[in-house]
Each structure stands twice: as structure tokens, then as C-alpha cells.
Amino acid sequence: MEWEVDDDRRPVVVVVGLIEKATNSTKPDLDPKILKSIKSVVRHSDSELRHAAEYLISLMKRDHSQVRYLTLAIIHELFMRSKLFRALIVENLDQLLTLSVGFRRNQPLPAPPAIASKLRSKAIEFLERWNSTFGIHYRQLRLGHDYLKNTLRFQFPNLQANAARVQQERRERELRTKEILLKKYELLKSNFPSIKDEVNSIVDEISECLDILITSKEDNVPLDPIDEDDVHEFRSIELRQIRDNSLKEADKVQENSENKVVFDALRELYKVLVTKHIVAVQESVSVLVRVELSDNRLRDSMLKEFIDVRNHLKSIKKKCEEAGCVLTTPADETEEDIWEEGASETFDISTSTTPSKQTEDHANKRNDSPECSDRKRTNVIVKVEDPEVSGTKLNPLKSKLMVEAPVMKWGSFLDNWGSNRDFMANQRGLELEGHWGRVDHDATIPANKIAELNVQAIVYEEEHKEIQQCGAPLKKGGFCQRKDLKVCPFHGPIVARDDEGTPLNDTISTDDEKPDLKLFSTEELLKQAVNNVRETDKEVVKKREHDKKELKRAKLVKVRGHNEAVLRDAALASTSGSSSIGELEGREKDSLAKMLKKKMTAKDRLAQRLLSRKANAKQLNLGEDHSKYREAFPNQW
Amino acid sequence: MWKEIGDRESGKLRPNSFITRIRSNRLSSLLLSNHKEIVSSHRGAINSLQVDLTEGRYLLSGASDASLAVYDIQRATDYEGGALIAKHKPILAVDKQHPNGHKYAISTAIWYPIDTGLFVTGSYDHHVNVWDTNTTQVVMDFKMPGKVYRTAMSSLATSHMLIATATEDVQVRLCDMASGAFSHTLSGHRDGIMAVEWSTSSEWVLMTGGCDGAIRFWDIRRAGCFSVLDQSHSQLGRRPPLLERSTTKVTSKSSSSGQTSSAKARAPQRKVASGSGSKHSGSSRTLRHAKGSAKQRLHPGLLSSQDRATAHYGAVLGLKATEDGMYLLSAGSDSRLRLWDIQSGCNTLVHFEIVRLQSSKAIQLAVTQDSSLVFVPCMTSVKAFDVWTGKASMTLQGHYEHVNCCWYGTHDQEVYTGGNDRQILVWSPPKLISQDVDEGDRRTVAVDQDNWSD
């Protein structure tokens, strides 16, 4: 806390130095530590704050957008906190806006254009925030905001208004749904007795039908004992499964010419029950759950009744399913063919019996038709088993293919290998109903999405490679044992070597040079030698002169450098408390200056060359044309 | 402040000096008013502002979109932010849609000086309209030969009601409201006329400034102008010697003793000023007469039309006479403000620290009641200068574009400024007692205080 000690003696130094340090950076954001220290310094002394404001405004005038950007960030930080600072800044608000937004045509924002645009958008955003929080206390803020918004038509981010609008929209939507619910509730209240009557009548009818069927069933003769004996012979689980099913089937009432009429009626009633009443009751329950009323008693009683009705209907439905799996209309059968797939069936059968039931349930839900005829099911099994049988027959072909096929490691991606169907998104056994709003049971995830999610993952393994030894002969005998990829730090590039450690390629290159030399005659050699000597003499003379100049220059540079260092030290000692600021300065300035310089790209260079050449050519052509024209058409008058 | 009131109570302070002290105190602390806001309905640059002279309550503004509006500056139409900001919306607004409205920019809008039942507007569509305030109808319409830059009515006139108009044309026309005709056509300027001002000491004297850089004084009872101001014809200090003045024949001033005494107190350099300037003026006058006799043909009133003296290099953009009618301030497109002694017609050589003036449009100056400060629109700001020393005492910085006009409200020491950014700003001394915000509103309004998080 050096500066706080200094505070009384040199009040200017501290904050100015800190601000200088904070803004002298190429980073997009302020250093939070420096910012914090600026804040703490400024907080304790008003004079520091005044100096800070003054210095910040002067920094805003710098010809560098980066400096301005960081300065603006500091201004914003202080502006949101200090009242005095606000008063100081607001006095010169139009100047600040000119320098940060750059709305005056004769004072555009300075160089790095990317940062300049960032600066502008930030300044506008800040102005909006200032205006929304403090606008009421400062007419200048209101004026500036109004001017930029209504006269110059700058686009303000309008954060607050946007948030408010979104909120408003949401509230309206909620209100609308509430209204709709209420309407539905009213309707329901008026319709309640009629619905109940309808449901009761259908329930009665169904139960009557069922009674008739049950009474007729008692006449049937059971065939069980014969089957019991055969149990031992069925070794395979699959076959037993089939048999169990068939046994269960036997328990049920078979449709025949006698009770066909009853079954038809039952089917009809069942269809009505499932498609109309259960759905209606479900819906009304959900309406009752969601509706908000001042008086809840009536609603609660209605809800209770509806739930009872629903449970009753469900039990009836179950009874129907148990009694008559007869409900196969032709349309339903075709549907079944489409979605029921062999693969899942075979899987279920071969592993366990419970999943098969599950799929059955699924089938019921999806088709809104509960039946699952066993006749159909056995067909499916046969169908699936067929390829297996044929597979064993075509063994040579398969084995051939097996040889060619790549061996894959096991992974979850194999679960859906080659399958090309859409997945139901909301059919995973999780009961989502009514927890988070409506659930779309038919939502599917398309096959390509699934494929995307299940790509094969491979862990990269690098190829193991033997690294060659350096193998150069060592003084103490033996060879260098270092293993480097390309260059040995002691013996140079690693090359193939023979047993004694001499490189193999080297000898060849030395051999190459000798024949060249032989071509020269002795006379020529002499001449060359004399020339060489003279040239070296000349070079030496030149070099000496050059050296002298260099020496002088070096001396001058040294002196200058020393002077500068002394000056800088003096300046630092008089302005800044901490030495670290001084150290940074040179380098950072350099980089800040670099930001200003436009980078020379390949395109620029090309353009320069092409353009200049073209221009030259054009000029030449022009001259030629003119002379030609003159020759062709001498003065016609 | 309290000390002064105490002094006044005990009789140490005389009423007049008490008033002037309070006024100057308030004036020296002018700030952009946060609690008084004029909601400008204009969609163009504001060219003219005037508060009525009888009640000091209604602000009339004319703008470039041919709209004009009247604001009640005493009573706000609605409040905002828990009565923190009083908003003044126009109580009367006329725009282009009005059947008799102006077609082009309104360059000037002034109140009828006797009451607020009438006001006069001049526009670039060559018309000067006289409006009835209560019915918002045009009751009289004068067709001018060119664009109208300024109009003026004498606030002292008892025997005439003439509207002096400065137009593109070289002649100054005086429109008579009683008859609906031009009563005078004053010729002498060599170029369009940008500024016109009635003398505040004599109802017959009119002062005009033209694009030729000349300021001419006219006595409307006689033909021709009686004086042309010459910038090279100068005097140091504020006043020529008393003796010389008594010999001159120019219209006698109504005021005197109080002013001279104050002048004595104020100008120690009076001694220096004495001889040369006034002597020079006397000689020039005789010279002019001599010239007239030489030419003989010319009517004596038209003699001065030969005088090509200039008050500014470039056009004269604005004129303003001080309240006591002894001095005239003129602003020119050469970015100079000059203070003239009306009586002697001399440039007093006060140097006003102006950097730059807007040079394309006529500007409207304002002078305080005791003629201590002059408010001058300088580009985007309004500067207040000490009239006698030329020192800038305040800079009113608030507009985002050029300021065209300003008006000093004498009642509550407020300054109104209008500019190209379509705003009318109110500059007022800070309130002595900060208004208490209602408890209920305090919660909604963010409190303006320090908020350090760390």
C-alpha cells in the first residue's frame, strides 16, 4: 500500500499512474486488480477522483481506439459508483460521447476499426444504462440519450425494454391459457351429468356383454391334461413360451358362430370406450388439475369423480382385453404389419418372457387397439427364424464374408447397427404426464439423428516406432547412445552410419567435388588465386571503413540510449510511485502502436504490384495511341 | 444570501442594491436545469425564442420545420420522477398542417409587446404573419420581397405599432399593423439585412445590420439613415466626455444620472478615452455635412447612403441593445462581438473572447437586465461574456448541435436556448431548497448517491 502513504504528499501521482497502467494494454478487458486499486484510491479522496476524471477525459482524446475503449470501461465503473464523478463527467458529456460514439463527422473514431466499432457499441450501451439509472438526476444524460436515439437514430440495445416486453408477452400468454381453461371448465361443469350418464351406459353395456361371454365360456371343455404330459419334451424356452401362450389362449373364450354377435357388439363398444370416453375423461381430468379457481370445492369433488370414472373405465378396458382379444379389425391388422418388427420380437422371445409383454403394451398404446393376436405373432416368429435357418445353409458364403469383414470393437454404437427407423422420444417408460406440461407421445427422433448420436468412438493410439540411435563414434570409444528424432544435439543430424560410425552419405559428396577441380588448367588456377587475394584485400579495406562507421554509430546509439534512460528514470521518479509501471511502458506502447499499423497481407502486395504495372502499361499505351493517332491523322485543316 | 437578507432587514442594504446583488448571485450560478424541462414539439432547428414582455410567462418559439409553439414556463403541464422534473409541454402549437401556417422555416417569432393576444412570425416563405393567440388564426399577412430573417417591434412605442422586418431585400420595410400596409421603406443597405433592433431609449430609432457588414441607425420620422457605425471609428472606454455629448444633436436620451454615476464607478480608464475618439466623431460629422453640400443634389437624408463604413468584416448576424438604450452589441460573421456606444456611434474596442461564431444564420443574443452579461450562441455552446471587459464568465454547454438563439428571462434569471438539435434548454440557478420527493415515489426513483461495492 505504497500509494496510500504517498497520498498526502503527491495526490496526483497515484491514480494517474494506475490509470495509465490499466489503459496501456492490448487486452480486451481491464485488469480487475488494477481496477480495484483505482477504485479504492479514488474512493478515499475527492481530489484523486477529480484528477482521475480529468486524466480519463484526456485519455479519451488519444488517437487509439484501444486506449479509448479501456478508458471508457474505467469511466463506466466509476460512473456507476461515485456521485462526484458523475457530476464531473456529465459536465462534458457531449465531448465524451463525441470521443466514444464518434457521431460527429469531422471527428471519427481512431484507428483499429474493429475495436472502434466495439467502442461505439459499448458506449451506446453504457449511455443507455446510465440514462436508465441516473437519467432522472442529470438532464445532460437525458439530452445525450435523446439526441443519439431520436435525432441520430442510433440503435440502442434497449435491454430493459426488451426484458419488460418479454415478461409482458409471457404474462399475456399465461392469462390467455388461463382463460381458455376456465372456459373449458365451465363447459365441463355444464356437461358433467351427461358425460357421466354416457359413461355409465357404456359401462353397463360392456359388462352385460362380458357376462354373456363368461356364461357361455363355462360350456367349453378344458383340454389341459393332455398337454401337461408333453411339457418335458419341449426343451427350448422358445417353444415353451409358445406353448404357454397357446394354453392361455385356450382359457379365453373363442369366437364362434354362436357368440359372434356378442363379440361384434363388444368390439364396437370397446372401440367407443377407448377412442372416445377414456380420452375425454383424461382430458377433463387434466383441465380440472390445471384450472385455477377461487372456489376449489366443486372442482375437487368433480376431480375425484372423474378419477374414479377413469379408473373404472380402465378396469373395464382391461377386462375387455382379457376377455376378447378379438378386436382385430382389418385396418388394424395392416397397421400392425407396418410397425411391428421381427428383430425386437425375436430378441424378446429368446431372452425372457417379460419384455414380450412390454412390447405388447407398447403396441396397444400406440395403436389404440389392445389386441395382439397370437396367430399373427407366431407368423412373425417364423418369419424371423427363417433367415437364421438359411444362414446355416449358406455357411460357405457367410464364412467368406466373415473373413472379409472388419473386426469392430464392441461399443454402444452397435446397438442400432444398420437400423433405419425413427425412435420414439417419449416412450421410455418414464411417466412424464402432467409434470412439465403436455407430453407429445408421438415425438420421434429421426434415424439420422440417432446415427449421429451413435458414431463409433475410437481412442487414438499412436504408432509405436523405434527411434534410431545417434551412433556417432565417441572419443572414449563406443558410440553415442542418444536417441533423438532428427538431430542429435552433439553430433548433428542423425544419418545412417556404418559399423565404425562414419556416415554413409558423406563420402559420396566429397567424391563429387574432385572431378570439377581437375577441369581447370594451372594457368587459370594461378589467375584465380591472384584475383582471390586482391579481392580479399579490397574487402578488408572496405570492412575496416565500415567498422569505423559502425563503431561511431554504436557509440552514438549508446549515448542516446543512456540519455533516454536517464530522462525516463527522472520522469518515472517524478510521476509514478511503482517501478513496475515504468517497466511495462515501453513494450506495451510498442504493441499498442502495432495495433494501429495495418497488416500487409499477400492480397495487398499483389494488388500493389498489379495495379502499378497496369497503370504503367496504361500510360504507355496511351502515349502510343496518341502518337499513332497523330501520325494517322496529321492536321486536317 | 442570508447575510444579505439580514442586512436588508436591518436596513444596511438599500432595496435596489439588495435586488441587484441577489440577481447577480443567482446569475453567476447558472446551470442546466434538471427540474425544468421544455418538451420541444419541433422537428427542426429552433430559430427564435422569446418570452412575452408583459407577464414573463409565455415562451414563443419558431422552428425550421415551419412550426411554432407557446410554452407556459411558470406552470408545468406534468411531472416526472416523483415531481423531480417538471415538464412544460406546448400549450399552443402550430405546424405546417395549419391552413394559414408558413410553408418554410420560421426565422423569427416575436410577441406583440403590449399584451400576449398577438404575436408576429416571419418566415423564409416571404411572409410576415400576425397571429391571434387565442384563436390561433392569422389575422394579418404581409408579403415581403424576399426571405424574412428578423422582425422587431418596439417595446416602448406608444404612437405607432410598426413591425420592422429584415429581409433578403436591401430595403428595410416597416409593416403597419393598423393599416396592413408598409408604412416605410428604408433604403441604404447594399445587401440583404440580417438583423433589426428597435432602440430601447427612443421609439423612433431603428437599428439594422446587413450582410454588407454595415449597421445603420434610422430615425423613422425622417428620410434616410442618420448614422452608420464604423469599426475603425473607435473610442476607448465606455463613454465620451459629458461636454461633447451635450453639443451633439442626436435624440436626447431619457435616462441619465444614475447611469453616469455607475459608469464613473466602473470605468477608471475614462480619462484615456476622452479626446481623440469623440473629437474624431465630431469632425467626421462636419465632414459629412461638407460632403453633402458639395454634392448638393442629394437629399440630406440620403447622404449617409454614400457612407460605406462597415461595422464587421462580413455580415452582421445579430444585434442587441442594452436595456438602458445606451449601448449596442453586434455579432458578425467575422466571429467578433462588438460593443458600440449608440450615442457617439463609436466602437468601444472591448475584446470579447469568442473563438468562433456560426456564420450562416442570424443569431439571437441576450443581455441581462443590468447589462452586465451578454449571452452569445457560439457554435454548440452559449457563452456569457462580461459586457464591459469581454471576459467569458460562463459556458453553457448542453446542446449537441449549433445554437441559434437565446433569451434571458428577467423574472427568475433563467436563460432559454434553442438550437439545431431541436431542443429548448432551460438554464437556471440551482434551487435553494431541494424539493422533497414523496415517500411513495422515493422507492421508484433511483437515489443519486455514492454506491461503492468494495
Residue found under cell 373364450: A253
Non-local CB neighbours of B403 within 8 Å, separated by 6+ positions: B358, B363, B377, B378, B379, B380, B381, B382, B417, B418, B419, B420
Give the three-class secondary structure for B184: strand
Residues of A in contact with B80 (CB under 8 A): 136
How much is the pLDDT for B290? 43
Reference A273, options A337, A209, A333; nearest CA is A209
pTM exceeds 0.95: no
Residues of B in contact with A39 (CB under 8 A): 452, 454
- DSSP H or E stretch at residue A33: helix A32-44
User: Which of B423, B452, B453 is closest, CB to CB, to A143?
Assistant: B423
Record: contact A136-B33, CB cut-off 8 A: no
Query: pLDDT tens, A418-473?
Result: 777 777 777 766 665 666 677 777 778 888 888 787 777 788 888 887 888 888 88
> pLDDT at residue B391 above 50?
yes
Mean pLDDT of B62-69: 92
Non-local CB neighbours of A34 within 8 Å, separated by 6+ positions: A18, A21, A22
Q: Is A106 on the interface with B (CB under 8 A)?
A: no
Residues of B in contact with A38 (CB under 8 A): none
Record: contact A136-B451, CB cut-off 8 A: no
- Distance (Å, rounded) from C-alpha B218 to C-alpha B327? 16
Query: pLDDT tens, B243-285?
Result: 444 444 444 444 444 444 444 444 444 343 333 434 444 444 4
Non-local CB neighbours of B17 within 8 Å, separated by 6+ positions: none
Per the CB < 8 A criterion, the answer to whether A368 and A275 are in contact is: yes
> pLDDT at residue B162 above 60?
yes
Record: contact A94-B380, CB cut-off 8 A: yes
Which residues face A30 on adjacent strands? none
- Of the given ranges (A149-158, B60-69, B347-356, B398-407), which has the lowest mean pLDDT? A149-158
Higher pLDDT, B270 or B165: B165
Q: Is A139 on the interface with B (CB under 8 A)?
A: yes
Q: Is A86 on the interface with B (CB under 8 A)?
A: yes
Q: Which alpha helices (H) appear in A454-601, and where do they start and end?
A: 506-518, 522-575, 579-596
Non-local CB neighbours of B71 within 8 Å, separated by 6+ positions: B38, B58, B59, B61, B88, B89, B90, B91, B424
Q: Is A80 on the interface with B (CB under 8 A)?
A: yes
State the smallest CA–CA distance between residue A138 and chain B in angstroms. Answer: 6
How much is the pLDDT for A539? 87
- Distance (Å, rounded) from C-alpha A553 to C-alpha A609? 35
- Give the Cα-Cα-Cα angle A104, A106, A108 (nearest 5 degrees): 70
Residues of B in contact with A143 (CB under 8 A): 398, 400, 423, 425
Record: contact B380-A36, CB cut-off 8 A: no
- Distance (Å, rounded) from C-alpha A360 to C-alpha A27? 64
Record: contact A143-B80, CB cut-off 8 A: no
The separation between CA B162 and the C-alpha centre of its own chain, rounded to angstroms, equals: 18
How much is the pLDDT for B123? 93
The three cell numbers of residue A150 are 431520436
Residues of A in contact with B453 (CB under 8 A): 81
Residues of B with a Cβ under 8 Å from any A Cβ are 32-34, 37, 80-81, 84-85, 380, 397-400, 421-423, 425, 445-446, 448-454
Reported as a pLDDT band with limits 50, 70 and 90, residue B141 is: very high
How much is the pLDDT for A636? 58
Considering A295-299, B75-79, B211-215, the range whose residues carry the highest mean pLDDT is B211-215
Counted across chains A and B, CB pairs separated by less than 8 A come out at: 58
- DSSP H or E stretch at residue A488: strand A487-488
Residues of A in contact with B446 (CB under 8 A): 133-134, 136
- Phi and psi at residue A177, to the nearest 5°: -65, -35
Residue A152: closest CA among chain B residues belongs to which residue?
B421
A376: left (phi over 0), alpha (psi -120 to 50) or beta: alpha
Non-local CB neighbours of A88 within 8 Å, separated by 6+ positions: A49, A50, A53
How much is the pLDDT for A633? 66
- Phi and psi at residue A17, to the nearest 5°: -60, -45
Give the three-class secondary structure for B179: coil
Q: Is A165 on the interface with B (CB under 8 A)?
A: no
- Distance (Å, rounded) from C-alpha A150 to C-alpha A135? 16
Reported as a pLDDT band with limits 50, 70 and 90, residue B374 is: very high
Residues of B in contact with A36 (CB under 8 A): 454
Record: contact A81-B452, CB cut-off 8 A: yes
Record: contact B400-A151, CB cut-off 8 A: yes
Record: contact A139-B33, CB cut-off 8 A: yes
Helices A159-217 & A260-272 angle (0-180, nearest 10): 170
Q: Is A144 on the interface with B (CB under 8 A)?
A: yes
- Give the Cα-Cα-Cα angle A440, A442, A446 (nearest 5 degrees): 115
Residues of A in contact with B398 (CB under 8 A): 94, 139-140, 143
Q: What is the DSSP code (8-state) at residue B428?
A: E
**Amino acid found at B422:** R
How much is the pLDDT for B118? 92
Residues of A in contact with B421 (CB under 8 A): 147, 151
- Distance (Å, rounded) from C-alpha A617 to C-alpha A609? 12
How much is the pLDDT for B426? 93
How much is the pLDDT for A218? 54
Record: contact B81-A136, CB cut-off 8 A: yes
Record: contact B448-A91, CB cut-off 8 A: no
Q: Which stretches in chain A have pLDDT values below 50?
A: 1-9, 11, 221-231, 234, 325-391, 507-517, 575-586
Q: Is A140 on the interface with B (CB under 8 A)?
A: yes
Given the DSSP bridges, would you call strands B316-321 and B181-186 parallel, antiparallel or unpaired? unpaired
C-alpha distances in angstroms, B37 versus B40, B76, B78, B87?
9, 9, 10, 5
Record: contact B446-A139, CB cut-off 8 A: no
Mean predicted lDDT score pLDDT of chain B:
82
- Distance (Å, rounded) from C-alpha B95 to C-alpha A350? 90
Report ipTM (2 d.p.).
Answer: 0.78
- Distance (Å, rounded) from C-alpha A454 to C-alpha B213? 88
State the smallest CA–CA distance between residue A149 and chain B in angstroms. Answer: 12
Record: contact B32-A83, CB cut-off 8 A: no
Residues of B in contact with A43 (CB under 8 A): 452
Higher pLDDT, A228 or B345: B345
User: Which of B397, B422, B453 is closest, CB to CB, to A151?
Assistant: B422
Per the CB < 8 A criterion, the answer to whether A209 and A266 are in contact is: yes
User: Which of B84, B397, B453 is closest, CB to CB, to A94?
Assistant: B397
The three cell numbers of residue A356 are 414380450
**Amino acid found at B252:** S
Mean pLDDT of B73-98: 87
- Distance (Å, rounded) from C-alpha B204 to C-alpha B159? 9
State the smallest CA–CA distance between residue B72 and chain A in angstroms. Answer: 20
- Distance (Å, rounded) from C-alpha B384 to C-alpha B375? 4
Q: Is A40 on the interface with B (CB under 8 A)?
A: yes
Reference B92, options B51, B52, B129, B135; nearest CA is B135
